[in-house]
Amino acid sequence: MSDFVNEFWNWYVILIVLVSVVACGVFLWFQSIHHSSSEQTTDTTGHVWDETLQEYNNPLPRWWMWLFYLTVFFALAYVSLYPALGRFPGIWGWTSTGAHKMEVEKAEAQLKPLFDKYLKLDLASVAADKEAMEMGGRLFQTYCIQCHGATGQGSRDKGFPNLTDKDWQWGGAPEQIVETISNGRTGMMPPYGGNPDAVGGEAGAKELANYVRSLSGLKHDADLATKGETRFKAVCFACHGMDGKGQQALGAPNLTDKTWLYGSSEAKIIETITAGRTNQMPAWKEFLGEGKVHLLAAYVFNLSSGGEKR
């Protein structure tokens, strides 16, 4: 790729653009000279169809010719003022990024009083405000649906959490939701497949999976689950606790609530144990600003049971 950003290609683009535009002007000029003797001529191109149908070599009307000249002058003015010649930024220094930034800043300045108004309210109050929820919904549809879906129900196949249920990996208190959206989260389940001493290889992973399924009351092999309990309390308790209810401070999921981010089948749980999982919630504070984050947090807070704490 570096071959296409050196100085040669910069001048290559400049020459192609300028030669093309100037060539159009030169061609028009030669046409004008060729037909300068008369507005009309009886010369033909020599093409004849259907015995008597001939193609005459008449000049373009003068007004039409000047329109073509005008397009050439316009093109030269445009590439001088705007960035159209390689790396040349144009006399006016205009950029699409700069124009977009100005538009965003103008819109932000107009909306700032409204954002500040809601920023002074707690999340529960904002969640109860219809206008605020309409704004929060539009923000959600713009920035969040790619992962969490249009309805906020996530995607189990890709490990994107459902925001409409009662389960929170990092906590569902207002300040915890704001923290999650503002600064992001990184959830990490270490892979134990490469450490057979920890879980006992494939057989041990199967025993652990059956024990984990038993914690949620799912169908399991009782003998395998009994063996898996010993392994769980030797390795997994550090994050998930002896009772398997997890630790929100660490982002360690509750394994007893029948809510599964990647699926609850034995195969899926074994895959999680052996290969591990890594989830990344991006940080939005710098991009969106405190006001939009506050509205988004209130909207997410409101997604489950009309704002009921979960």
pLDDT of residue 50: 77
- The response to whether 144 counts as a known ligand-binding position is yes
DSSP state of 191: -
Enter the tokens of residue 193.
């497949």
For residues 71 and 209, membership in a common domain is answered with no
Q: Is 24 labelled a binding residue?
A: no
Domain boundary among 61, 81, 101: 81
Under the banding of pLDDT at 50, 70 and 90, the label for residue 88 is: confident
Please say which residue of 35, 62, 81 terminates a domain: 81
In this structure, the answer to whether residues 49 and 139 fall within a common structural domain is no
Query: How many angstroms separate the CA atoms of 293 and 223, rounded?
Result: 49
Do 166 and 210 lie in one domain? The reply is yes
- Do 46 and 181 lie in one domain? The reply is no
Instruction: Tell me, yes or no, if the pTM score tops 0.85.
Output: no
* pLDDT for position 310: 33
The answer on 268 and 135 residing in a single domain is yes
Please give the pLDDT value at position 308.
Answer: 39
Domain residue limits at 65: 2-81
Whether residue 236 is annotated as binding a ligand: the answer is yes
Q: Is 34 annotated as a binding residue?
A: no
**51 close to 57: Cβ distance less than 8 angstroms:** no
Are both 116 and 168 inside the same structural domain? Answer: yes
Does position 1 have pLDDT exceeding 70, yes or no?
no
Residues 62 and 206 in one domain: no
1 annotated to a ligand binding site: no
**Does a structural domain hold residue 105?**
no
Tell me if 95 is assigned to some domain: no
CATH code, domain with 191: 1.10.760.10
Residue 285 CA to residue 291 CA, distance in Å, equals 9
| Alpha carbon distance 231, 202 (integer Å) | 13
Residue 16 lies in a domain: yes
Residue 22 structure tokens: 């100037």
More confident residue, 99 or 2: 99
The pLDDT > 70 percentage for the chain reads 94
**Are 161 and 300 part of one and the same domain?**
yes
Average pLDDT over residues 42-50: 74
Do 168 and 245 sit in the same domain of this protein?
A: yes
* Cβ pair 133, 302 in contact under 8 A: yes
If asked whether residues 52 and 165 sit together in one domain, one would say: no
Total domains in the chain come to 2
Residue 147 marked in a binding site? yes
Question: Looking at the structure, do residues 71 and 121 belong to the same domain, yes or no?
Answer: no
Q: Is 239 annotated as a binding residue?
A: yes
- 33 part of a folded domain: yes
Q: Is 85 left (phi over 0), alpha (psi -120 to 50) or beta?
A: beta
Which residue from 198, 200, 194, 189 is spatially nearest to 268, judged by alpha carbons? 189
The string of pLDDT tens digits covering residues 194-247 is 777 788 888 999 999 999 999 999 999 999 999 999 999 999 999 999 999 999
* Residue 153: inside a domain: yes
How many CB atoms sit inside 10 A of residue 252's CB? 21
| Spatial CB neighbours of 179, under 8 Å, sequence gap ≥ 6 | 170
**What average pLDDT does range 298-302 have in this prediction?**
94
**Of 109, 305, 92, 272, nearest in space to 188 by CA:** 272
In a shared domain, residues 60 and 191: no
